[in-house]
Every structure is written in C-alpha cells, then in structure tokens.
Amino acid sequence: MGMDDGFRQIPGLLLAWYDVHKRRLPWRDGPSAYHVWVSEIMLQQTRVEAVIPYYERFLKALPDIKALASAPEEQLLKLWEGLGYYSRVRNMAKAARQVLEDYGGELPSEPVELCKLSGIGDYTAAAIASFAFGRKTPAVDGNLLRIFARLTDFAENIRTPAAKRQAAAFFNDIFPDDRPGDMNQALMDLGATVCLPGGAARCADCPLSAHCLAYAAGREALLPLMPVKKPRPVEERTVFVIRTADKVLVRKRPSKGLLAGLYEFPNEKGTFNKEDACTYCKNLGLTPVSVRLLPAAKHVFTHLEWHMTGFELYVAEASTAFTPISDLADSVPLPSAFAAYTGKVLQS
C-alpha cells in the first residue's frame, strides 16, 4: 500500500486533538511499566469505566511486581472478583515471578521480551513498550484496526492476520519518533470516543476526517468489514443451592478449565425437574428435606452461554465434600456466572 501524502499529516493533527480531548485515566499519570501492565490486562474484555476502581484497589494491595509475585491466589482472585476471566490474573502472577527470576524484577522494555511473559501478547507488549518505555510500536487493537480500515478504505476482512500486518505497517510508517506513547493513546481515544463502530461514528468531530478515504466515499458506516459471527453455543445447566439449617454449601471447581479453581454451587449439564434434583442430591450423599424451584438465569461467556435452571434444596446435614459458603468469608469469590443465585443466598 502506497502512503498517501495526506496521511503524513495525521500525527500532528491527532496529537493536537489528543492534547485537548484526552481522557483522564489513572494509569496515564506518570505511568510505570507495572501500572501500564496492570491496566492493560484489566482492560481486556472490560470497559474503561469499570476498570478504574479495580485498578486503584489492586495497586493499593499489590503496589509492585514483587508484591504481585508473592500474593496468595485467594487474594488475587478476590481482587479480581467481578472482572471475570480469572486466568488473566493468574497469568499476571506467573509473569511477575518470571520477571523476578529472569529480568531482575523489572519488566523488559522490548516487545519481543515482553511476549515471553505469561499472558502478554503482541498488543499488550506493544502498549507497555510504547507507554512506559517510549518505543515506536503501534499497539494494534480493535480501535486501531477500525481507524486503519476507514482511513484507507480497506474493503477486506479486518480480522485476518494479513489485515493486522497491513494496519501495523501503516501506523509504523506514520508514527512520530518523539511521542509514540501519546500517539497510541490518541488513536485509542479516537476509536473509543469518535471513530465509533457502525453508524455511531462522529465524523464531524474527527480531526482526521479530511484525510479519511472511507468518509470521503460515504462508506465509514460499512467499515471495517468483519467476519460473520457464529452464534454462541448454548448449554443448559441446572444449579443446586443446597442449604442446611444454617449453612449454604459450595464446592471448588477443578484447577483447570472454565472458572478454574473457583467455588461454585453444585451444578450439572441439562435441565432437571424437582424429582431429578432430589435424586441428584441423594447421589451426593445428602438427604433432601425440601426442594424449591428458583427463577431461571442466564450467563454469557465469550464463546458460550449458560441457560440455568435453579433449585434450592434443604438437607438434613452437611457433607465434608462441600464447604459452607460462610467459611469463605470475603476472601474467595464466587464466579459471576452464579450471580443470580448468589444474591438470593446472601439476602436470605
């Protein structure tokens, strides 16, 4: 792709806009590599507004890499509770230990080295290298791909590796030497507030509209071209809120797989009726005294939906195979997948 001379004006226009309109975010204030890393991992799959209180609480509890590396898993999971995708924080702790062992306790400044750390991919490595170390490395995420597609009127599937390489090459060609971190941040802010998806794009407010080929052709709402999403598979599950006179029983999930290592209400695939629920309870070695149908609930994971039927079962006595939820105190989270039933338990 040849570089249009108008594109050379983009850095100056965009940085001038950013200096006036940039979002005030806590991880942008004198960012250390650790601060950038924590924020970028939190921002995966999570909105900026939701991340801010988690970020501040996390740094207060674990202010540096050494603290993160030595934190007990229960503390990590509790600090992450509500953000979901708990593998992210587990990978962070693993990477922190790698940094202590292999890099003298300091995050490396080069993307290729950062990518060797657990849970850090190309985008996160570029963001850390750019924001914290001033490396001229575009952090190509969904925002940058959308801006690239519109600026260049890129009429191919934007989700292919080839498209990502073209976007990276495009931004590499125009990135300034003196403010690469701000350039990345400016592009992210533009994508988050102005160059919005579909018909929501605010082209009249965009500092780059005079150089946007898609806008000139009236195609901005059609770009970027995306692959057709396959519908998420739906899994029917039945959740059992098992109670004694004064306890609610939970169990720990396996250490690998979905929601690994978290506590949960017992549950099984399929849609059970009251008779099935009583039989299931007996098979667990518990004696059901009463059973009540709870409202249905749904939880959406990235690539899966749970449609849940719930039952509340009172049993004669607890079993050592389960843990009373009261014993977890505030130190261990229950997955948000069970929020509809957790709320009922905690309120009753």
Active site residues: 40
Helices (H), the chain: 10-21, 33-43, 48-61, 65-70, 73-80, 87-102, 111-114, 122-133, 142-152, 161-174, 180-193, 213-216, 274-283, 339-347
Exposure pattern of 50-59 as b/e (b: 16+ CB <10 Å)? ebeebbeebb
104: left (phi over 0), alpha (psi -120 to 50) or beta: left
How many other C-beta atoms lie within 10 A of the C-beta of residue 141?
22
Q: Would you mind telling me the total number of residues written for the chain in this entry? A: 348
Q: From CA 237, how far away is CA 272, in angstroms rounded?
A: 8
How many other C-beta atoms lie within 10 A of the C-beta of residue 284?
19
Contact 26, 55 (CB under 8 A): yes
Find, among 314, 308, 277, the residue nearest to 295 by Cα: 308
- Look-up: residue for tokens 């005079």? 210
